[in-house]
Amino acid sequence: MTGETNLEERRAALEAIANEIRQCEQCPLYSARTNAVPGVGRVDADIMFIGEAPGYHEDQQGLPFVGASGKYLGELLSLIGLSRTDVFITNVVKCRPPGNRDPLPAEIDTCVPAYLQRQIDIIRPKLVATLGRFSMALFFDKNARISKIHGQPRRADGRIYYPLFHPAAVLRNPNLRPVMEQDIKRMLDLIKEIEKGGIEDEPPPPKQLSLF
Ligand code: SF4
């Protein structure tokens, strides 16, 4: 009963954040949006997918990953026996950048602590799968290249961070399909690790020795 109440409180807190996002004017992206896109899925999801920013269809519908990328993400999830309703899906910034340009550093720096960080704190996912480089840069070395570190999990904060290509990048470059599908299938092992519980943080990488 307490657990259910707690779940209700978390659901209400997540919905309150969604309502704040829908009215947010904290960065210039609010002025061109049709709808803000807070995110969708389970409040107690073990797995959270974080993309970059809403695109045209997402802006029109107020939902994340509903265009071609979303359809492909759904296909990828089905490879590991999951559907959108089993996870939580959101983006780094919640409003569509005009013309689908990249989100600017100031927009990311405003939106992430205001909303994404609070969503993570409420959902407490065991695995955060980043989709694309903007999302990856929040949790991995900012200079890392996605082509080098995709599919390589990092255990920290009692959870697993898992960098993936953005589905839109894979749709633009079909050569990446087998790579993306392999990375997604590798999530099965990570999910088993989650189900066992007790994810051990990895020691931070050793400092590079100076040669000078
Ligand atoms: S992108 Fe984020 S910070 Fe900017 S207006 Fe939208 S919700 Fe607010």
pLDDT digits over 175-196, tens only? 999 999 999 999 999 999 988 8
Find the residues whose C-beta lies inside 6 A of ligand 1: 21, 24-27, 29-30, 36, 93-95, 107, 110-111, 114
- Of the pLDDT bands very low, low, confident and very high (cuts 50, 70, 90), residue 197 is confident
Q: Is 149 helix (H, G, I), strand (E, B) or coil?
A: helix
Are residues 191 and 201 in contact, defined by beta-carbon separation less than 8 angstroms? no
The pLDDT of residue 176: 98
Are residues 10 and 122 in contact, defined by beta-carbon separation less than 8 angstroms? yes
The pLDDT of residue 205: 60
Q: In the predicted model, is pLDDT for residue 60 greater than 80?
A: yes
The pLDDT of residue 202: 84
206 CA to middle of ligand 1, Å? Answer: 37
Are residues 150 and 182 in contact, defined by beta-carbon separation less than 8 angstroms? no
Angle, helices 68-79 vs 177-196, to 10°: value is: 50
Q: Round to whole Å and give the CA distance between 21 and 115.
A: 7
Nearest CA to ligand 1 atom 6: 95
- Of the pLDDT bands very low, low, confident and very high (cuts 50, 70, 90), residue 198 is confident
CATH topology assigned to domain 8-196: Uracil-DNA Glycosylase, subunit E (3.40.470)
Are residues 80 and 97 in contact, defined by beta-carbon separation less than 8 angstroms? no
As a whole number of Å, the CA-based R_g of the chain is 17
The tens digit of pLDDT for each residue in 10-39 reads 999 999 999 999 999 999 999 999 999 999
The tens digit of pLDDT for each residue in 114-158 reads 999 999 999 999 999 999 999 999 999 989 999 999 999 999 999
DSSP code at position 144: -
59 CA to middle of ligand 1, Å? Answer: 13
Which residue among 94, 108, 112, 138 has the greatest number of ligand 1 atoms within 8 angstroms of its CB, and so is best to mutate?
94
Of 192, 186, 185, 194, the C-alpha closest to 76 is 185
The pLDDT of residue 199: 84
Nearest CA to ligand 1 atom 2: 111
Residue spans of the domains in the chain: they are 8-196
Nearest CA to ligand 1 atom 4: 27
- Of the pLDDT bands very low, low, confident and very high (cuts 50, 70, 90), residue 211 is very low
Q: In the predicted model, is pLDDT for residue 51 greater than 60?
A: yes
Tokens of 37: 């896109």
Are residues 161 and 128 in contact, defined by beta-carbon separation less than 8 angstroms? yes
The tens digit of pLDDT for each residue in 67-100 reads 999 999 999 999 999 999 999 999 999 999 999 9
- Of the pLDDT bands very low, low, confident and very high (cuts 50, 70, 90), residue 210 is very low
Residue 19, number of CB atoms within 10 A of its CB: 12
pTM: 0.94
5 CA to middle of ligand 1, Å? Answer: 30
Task: Please report the sign of the dihedral spanned by the C-alpha atoms of residue 97, residue 88, residue 38, residue 135.
Answer: negative
37 CA to middle of ligand 1, Å? Answer: 9
- Phi and psi torsions of 49, nearest 5°: -100, 130
Q: Round to whole Å and give the CA distance between 104 and 116.
A: 16
